[in-house]
Structure formats: structure tokens, C-alpha cells
């Protein structure tokens, strides 16, 4: 074997102990990517840098390591997740495998369900000025004819 490159050392660190056990901690950006909160590690890193991810209530840098038991607040678009880390993934696997590494709080689940229902029930967004057909329908409704 030749000289180990930096990438080889990083991969060895991520694999955990020599006995093949799971790593004790992982960078926050990589954990978010492995847990499938973001499609790419770059998006996860940008979210952390932008303050959309907090660990135990503190704003952190992408190089911050998360450990089992940490509480994460993740804001993605209009969704907000409150999750507790219960495992450190060895790789980015399928969604079912990724969900085994965190548990979402009941309040977070309820708030997201409420927001989803509110969004579903809200009316369609107007495209601007109504066309001739829409205008006639509106006049018919206002005058009480249908």
C-alpha cells in the first residue's frame, strides 16, 4: 500500500472503530445529508452556514460534530423539524434506513401536519388579472346568479 491520501483518512475516520462499529460522531452537514434532510451535502452545508440548522439551540458551523442525544432544529423551505439524534449513520442509505437515526418530536410532527393541512385548504393563488371568462363568472357570483 502506498501513502494514504487525505480522503482515505477521512473515510477511515467515518467508518468508526477498528472493530467495524458505528462512528461516535459525524459532521453536522454530513449527518443531515445521510439522514436525507438535504439532497446534497453542499445544500446541507449552505443551510448550516445560513443558520437554518441549530444544535441544542445554538447556531453552529458545518464542521460541528453531532453525537447521539443532540437536539437539532432544522428549517427547510417552509418546514421546521425538531429531531433528536439517536444514531450515527455509516453511509447515506435509503429513506427507511435514514429515519432510524433520528426521532422527530411530537410537537414538530403536529406543527408540520397543521401547516400541511393549512396549505392544502388555502385557496389557489391568483395568476393576476382574470380573463374574460373568469370575469363573467365572478360577476355572475356577485349578482347571485349561478
pLDDT at site 71: 96
- For 32, the grid coordinates are 443531515
Whole-model pTM: value is: 0.71
pLDDT at site 22: 67
pLDDT tens readout for residues 49-80:
999 999 999 999 999 999 999 999 999 988 99
DSSP string for residues in 27-60:
EHHHHHHHTTSSSSHHHHHHHHHTT-EEETTEE-
pLDDT at site 9: 45
pLDDT tens readout for residues 75-95:
998 899 999 999 999 999 999
pLDDT at site 3: 60
Q: How confident is the model at residue 11 (pLDDT cuts 50, 70, 90)?
A: very low
Task: State the architecture of 11-107 in CATH terms.
Answer: Roll (3.10)
In the predicted model, what is the mean pLDDT of residues 86-110? Answer: 94
Q: How confident is the model at residue 5 (pLDDT cuts 50, 70, 90)?
A: low
Sign of CA dihedral 85, 87, 93, 96: negative
User: Any idea where the domains of the chain sit in the sequence?
Assistant: 11-107
Say if CB 62 and CB 29 are below 8 A apart: yes
Q: Is the pLDDT of residue 146 over 80?
A: no
Amino acid at each position: 500500500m502506498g501513502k494514504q491520501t487525505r480522503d482515505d483518512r477521512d473515510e477511515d475516520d467515518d467508518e468508526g472503530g477498528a472493530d467495524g462499529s458505528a462512528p461516535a460522531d459525524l459532521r453536522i452537514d454530513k449527518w443531515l445529508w445521510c439522514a436525507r434532510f438535504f439532497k446534497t451535502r453542499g445544500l446541507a452545508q449552505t443551510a448550516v452556514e445560513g443558520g437554518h440548522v441549530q444544535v441544542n439551540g445554538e447556531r453552529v458551523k458545518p464542521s460541528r460534530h453531532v453525537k447521539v442525544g443532540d437536539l437539532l432544529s432544522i428549517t427547510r423551505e417552509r418546514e421546521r423539524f425538531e429531531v433528536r439524534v439517536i444514531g450515527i449513520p455509516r453511509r447515506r442509505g435509503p429513506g427507511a434506513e435514514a429515519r432510524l437515526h433520528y426521532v422527530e418530536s411530537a410537537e414538530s410532527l403536529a406543527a408540520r401536519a397543521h401547516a400541511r393541512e393549512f396549505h392544502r385548504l388555502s385557496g389557489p393563488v391568483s395568476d393576476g388579472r382574470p380573463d374574460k371568462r373568469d370575469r363573467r363568472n365572478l360577476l355572475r357570483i356577485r349578482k347571485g346568479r349561478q
